[in-house]
Amino acid sequence: MIFKNNFFHLKNFFIKFFATGLGLGYTPLIPGLAGVGLGAAAAYLIHPLPFWQKGVITLVLVIISIPLATEAEKLFQKKDCKKIIIDEVVGVLTATIWFSYLPFKMFWAIFFIYSFFDAVKVFPANVIEYLYGGWGVVFDDVVAGGYTAIAVALIFQVLKIIIV
């Protein structure tokens, strides 16, 4: 019986640890921004990889994040608990994998652009966030990442026109 209780405590610890972005979700003020920062750091680290590898990493994180966020919601006893920030990491990765070249300054722009789209919840993110458990938690951020990618691509096009 002791082993069983210890196992569940350990399991719950790891669910919370990863769902909160290695504990950054416990940041007292605006934990979502800590998640965006962690996502930007992760995106910067994997950015030199080929597209297919970035895509696989992002897809695996999406697949892992859905049940992780579902279980974390149960543990925190709150729908889309603000401590759960693995979804922001996935959203930022979704925004950045499409680009073969992003200068370091663009990661700062992505930080702010993604934060905007994540907060505003532009359709269909505002509907998706109400899906069951981790599906809603994760996929509204994937949508925000998609909007961020489009905005960054448009910024690149505008800059290209201005510079040329």
% of the chain with per-residue pLDDT over 90: 62
- Quote the CA–CA distance of 14 and 22 in Å, as a whole number: 9
**The pTM of the whole model exceeds 0.85:** yes
107 closest CA partner among 50, 36, 164, 59: 36
DSSP string, 64-127: HHHHHHHHHHHHHTSTT-TT--HHHHHHHHHHHTT-S---HHHHHHHHHHHHHHHHHT-TTHHH
**pLDDT tens digits for 72-109?**
999 998 887 899 999 999 999 999 999 988 888 888 88
Using the predicted structure, report yes or no on whether residue 159 has a pLDDT greater than 50.
yes
Q: Output the pLDDT for position 135.
A: 95
